[in-house]
């Protein structure tokens, strides 16, 4: 019993000294500003005009342009493998306050025919960003693993 009490006191002391993640000053959140790249397969619901094309191999560049505390500003560029033009979509997001490695981005399309609005759920782990995407209005979903491009901040 004395050991449990001592362990509890040590835990309380450690937690009182630890610096919590703060949305106001940006501490505790990964510094992920830069351009992240990866390829993935994307699938479409039957109601999506791209459904008949099957699974499409696609590449993306997620450029995290700014961090303001827990808030994330980003630009997502993507294209089907073999295409030359990028589809560009802007996003705003936030790190989770209870797990600073996790974040969400809400995306709105700004260019191209295939733009959609959707949500990225992401996690930053071991210098890799892993995202899952759902575009409920158009019925599109994918998961991608992104690595930071060399020479890009």
Place of tokens 């981005």: 105
State pLDDT tens for residues 14-56.
333 334 445 554 567 999 999 999 999 998 888 877 777 778 8
Nearest to 139, CA basis, from 114, 111, 122: 114
Task: Give the chain's radius of gyration (CA, Å).
Answer: 19
Q: Where are the domains of the chain?
A: 21-148
Q: Is the pTM of this model over 0.85?
A: no
DSSP state of 29: S
Which CATH superfamily is 21-148 part of?
A: Calycin beta-barrel core domain (2.40.128.20)
């Amino acid at each position: 019993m004395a050991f449990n009490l001592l362990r509890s006191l040590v835990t309380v002391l450690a937690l009182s000294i630890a610096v919590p993640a703060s949305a106001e000053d940006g501490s505790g959140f990964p510094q992920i500003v830069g351009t992240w790249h990866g390829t993935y397969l994307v699938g479409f619901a039957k109601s999506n005009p791209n459904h008949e094309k099957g699974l499409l191999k696609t590449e993306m560049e997620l450029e995290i342009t700014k961090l303001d505390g827990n808030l994330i500003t980003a630009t997502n560029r993507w294209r089907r493998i073999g295409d030359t033009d990028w589809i560009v979509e802007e996003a705003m997001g936030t790190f989770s306050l209870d797990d600073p490695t996790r974040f969400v981005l809400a995306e709105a399309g700004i260019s191209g025919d295939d733009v959609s609005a959707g949500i990225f759920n992401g996690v930053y782990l071991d210098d890799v960003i892993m995202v899952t995407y759902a575009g409920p209005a158009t019925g599109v979903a994918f998961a991608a693993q992104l690595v930071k491009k060399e020479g890009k901040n």
